[in-house]
Structure 1
Amino acid sequence: MTWTMPPPMLTTPIPQPVLRPGWAAEPKWDGYRAQLSLDTGRVELRSRRGTQMTEAFPEIVDSAAQLPDRTAVDGELIVWEGDRLAFERLQQRLPRRGAAAARAAGEWPAHFVAFDLLRLSGTDITRWPYRRRRSALESLFTTRRPTTPWALCPSTTDQTVVTEWLTWTTVGMEGIVFKRLDDTYRPGARGWLKYKPRETTEAIVGAITGTPAAPRTLLLGRYDTTGHLQYAGRTTTLPHDADRALAGLLTAAGPGHPWTGWSFSAGWSTREALTVTLIRPELVVEVGVDVARDRAGRWRHPARWHRVRTDLPPSEVDPAL
């Protein structure tokens, strides 16, 4: 019988990084969720949504020979740039094929951080509890000693270690995933828990989607040390009460706006350009953001609206990274 890789087990967000009795914790890396299967020399590498990534990451495919045959692992694809993870480099690699993919592998090599084991030497182990799957995964790394680009994701049942991991956010650690020790691998189920640290901060409104009278989202900026307004990120769709808070505070910009001629993408996974209205960069707002940033210091996930800060001038907003 042909073995089929199951859909990935998923997470549910939680507000606090508390490690419960009977659970384990793992760091969540800022990369692509990926599953890899090796079966009689054939390698399949696919994303969380089932996208085939085999041709885009030849170095991962070539290194799969270090695993036992008829084995499948779940994990995260990451790319390092200097001393932090670079999600945008990973994203740029996804559409490349053939010689272009090979060149990208040399310039921005990917790593596979394995955190779960789905099949081992022909045996489907998804019905094993997490603690047994984890033990088998650690044993595989101990006996096979796979080298780069393979890495074993840490796991702990110690709250103090979880607290320490949360200090790794500056290198691209995105949060914490919690897994029940006696839970099986349930394809497609949201049986794991995920905590992503967030912070409240201020930014300057530099543009909007919608109109000044009825903005839908805010495009936010911060001044760098040379006095240039740099794009920092965009908010989620504004709640209804934001209209009242912003009423009369947004003024369309005239000539000379620092973002004149710029284009803004609708999101990380699309080349669709936003239709925006440039706004005089005079209004400061408070937003909630998570820790994932690109190499330019921009928030990689949408910011959440909190409130207007008319008490703060733009000059008092933290500078761009």
Structure 2
Amino acid sequence: MTWTLPEPMLAAAVPDPVLLPGWAGEPKWDGWRALVSVEAGRTVLRSRQGTDLVASFPEIEAGSGQLPDATAFDGELIVWESGRLAFERLQGRLQRRGAHAARLAAEWPAHFVAFDLLRLEGIDTTRWPYRRRRAALEDLFTERTLTAPWALCPSTTDADTIDEWLTWSAVGLEGIVFKRLDSRYEPVRGWRKYKVRETQEAIVGAVTGPLTGPRTLLLGRYDQGGRLQYTGRTTALPQAAGRAVAGRLAPAADEHPWTGWTFSAGWGTKDTLTVTLVRPELVVEVGVDVARDSAGRWRHPVRWYRARPDLSPGDIAHFGNSA
């Protein structure tokens, strides 16, 4: 019977990074989740949604010769740039094939960070407990002396090590994934994930929805040259927050720094937003994670915390700075 990659095991969000007894922790990388399988000279590289990625990442297929036949990993595709994870370098790879994909692989090579073992030389390991899968994965990396594009994700049962990893947000570490030591690999939310978040201030430059009850806020910061740069958008505002912030917003005058601009409805989509420009006067505090694009914009929608009428736009860190 032909073996196929299983559906990926998922994680449920938790509000704190406490390492419980009987659990292990692993760094959560800012990349693309992927599953890879090698059998009879054929490499399968599949995204979490089931998209075939192998033609877009020839460096992974080229490195598959290092793996024993009939072996499969779960992991994360990542790219490093200037000592930091560069998610934007992964963007656009899906549309690249042949010579274009090879050029990108040479310029910005991807690594596959393996964090779980799904199959080992023809043996389905998904029913093994995590501690056994993890030990076998470590042994495989050691015995085969695997090198790039393969990398072994760290794992620990030491709380102090978890605390140290949480200081790595500057290089793009998103948080921690927790896995129960005796758990099988199943397509359920049996893992737990904690994402590093922090609060920052930004200036409201536009809104979606009516000014009397904005649905989301488009936020900006001034750069060193005095230009208001777009830095990200909030998630949907609670109705009470929308009403409260509406009383502090004023329609833009004829001149606005973002006049004529278009704003994407989401990362990686060509859909655009219908927005209303407002005077860039109101400062708000939002919760953000560590994911950034190459310009320093927040890649994920940010969470509303509160208005900061006690601050002026001039009090806010310049665009590209984190505080």
Normalised-by-shorter TM-score class: over 0.9
Answering whether residue 91 of structure 2 is matched by residue 102 of structure 1, we say no
Q: Which amino acid aligns with 1:60?
A: I
The residue identity in structure 1 corresponding to 2:314 is S
Query: Which string of whole-angstrom CA distances, capped at 9 and with x for unpartnered residues, describes residues 241-276 of structure 1?
Result: 012211332222133311222221111131111121
For 1:309, the equivalent position in structure 2 comes to 308
What SS is found at the alignment partner of 2:293? Answer: coil
The residue aligned with 2:133 is 133
Q: How does 1:131-280 map to 2 (within 5 A)?
A: 131-186=131-186, 188-280=187-279
* Deviation of the 1:132 alpha carbon: 0.4
**% identical aligned pairs:** 68
Quote how far apart the aligned CAs of 1:211 are: 2.1
Q: Which has the higher mean CA deviation after the structures are superposed, 48-57 or 288-297? A: 288-297
State the partner residue of 1:2: 2
Query: Secondary structure in 1 aligned to 2:306?
Result: strand
Distance 2:258 2:289 in 1: 25
Are 2:213 and 2:243, in contact at CA under 8 Å, matched by a contact in 1?
no
* 1:179 maps to amino acid: K
Distance, in Å, in 1 between the alignment partners of 2:65 and 2:255 is: 57
CA offsets per residue over residues 166-203 of structure 1, 9 Å max, x none? 111000101100000010101x2000000001112211
2:83, 2:47 → 1: CA distance? 25
1: CA distance, partners of 2:227 / 2:36: 44
Equivalents in 2 of 1:111, 1:253: separation in Å? 46
Q: Which moved more, 1:173-182 or 1:243-252?
A: 243-252
Partner of 1:78: 78
TM-score of the pair, normalised by structure 2: 0.97
- What 5-or-longer segments of structure 2 have no aligned partner? none
Instruction: State whether residues 212 and 243 of structure 2, in contact with CA within 8 Å, keep that contact through their aligned partners in structure 1.
Output: no
Letter in 2 for 1:311: D
Query: Residue 245 of structure 1 contacts residue 307 of structure 1 at CA under 8 Å; is this kept in 2?
Result: no
Q: Which residue of 1 aligns with 2:286?
A: 287
Q: Is the 8 A contact 1:141 1:152 kept in 2?
A: yes
In structure 1, what is the Cα distance between the partners aligned to 2:66 and 2:262? 44
Q: Which amino acid aligns with 1:134?
A: R
Amino acid at match of 1:208: V
Contact 2:214 2:246 in 1 (8 A): no
Displacement of 1:51 in angstroms is 1.0
Correspondences of 1:110-121 after superposition (within 5 Å): 110-121=110-121
SS in 2 for 1:225: coil
**1:100-127 CA distances to partner (integer Å, 9 max, x unpaired)?**
1111111211110000000000000000
Offset at residue 142 of structure 1 (A): 0.2
Q: Alignment partner of 1:24: what SS?
A: strand
Structure 1 residue 43 corresponds to structure 2 residue 37: no
Q: Distance in 2 between matches of 1:247 and 1:224?
A: 26
| Root-mean-square deviation (Å) | 1.0
C-alpha deviation, 1:7, in angstroms: 0.4
C-alpha displacement at 1:225, in angstroms? Answer: 2.1
Distance 2:128 2:181 in 1: 10
Q: What SS does the corresponding residue of 1:73 show, helix, strand or coil?
A: strand
Partner of 2:123: 123
Letter in 1 for 2:125: I
Q: Within 2, Cα distance between the matches of 1:264 and 1:53?
A: 28
- Counterpart contact for 2:265–2:272, Cα < 8 Å: yes
Residue type of the alignment partner of 1:155: S
Q: Secondary structure at the match of 2:61?
A: helix
- Structure 1 residue runs of 4+, over 2 Å off? none
Note the residue ranges of structure 1 that are not aligned, 5 or more in a row: none
Residue 295 of structure 1: CA displacement?
Answer: 1.8
- Cα distance, 1:52 vs. partner? 0.9
Is the contact made by 2:203 and 2:220 (CA closer than 8 Å) also made in structure 1? yes
What TM-score, normalized by structure 1, do the two folds share? 0.97
Q: Name the SS of the counterpart of 2:95 in structure 1.
A: coil
Aligned counterparts of 2:4 and 2:149: Cα–Cα separation in 1: 24
Are the equivalent residues in 2 in contact too, given 1:203–1:284 (CA < 8 A)?
Answer: yes
3-state DSSP of counterpart to 1:243: helix
How many pairs does the alignment contain?
A: 320
- Structure 1 residues 13-24: aligned runs within 5 Å: 13-24=13-24
Measured after TM superposition, the shift of residue 14 of structure 1 is 0.4
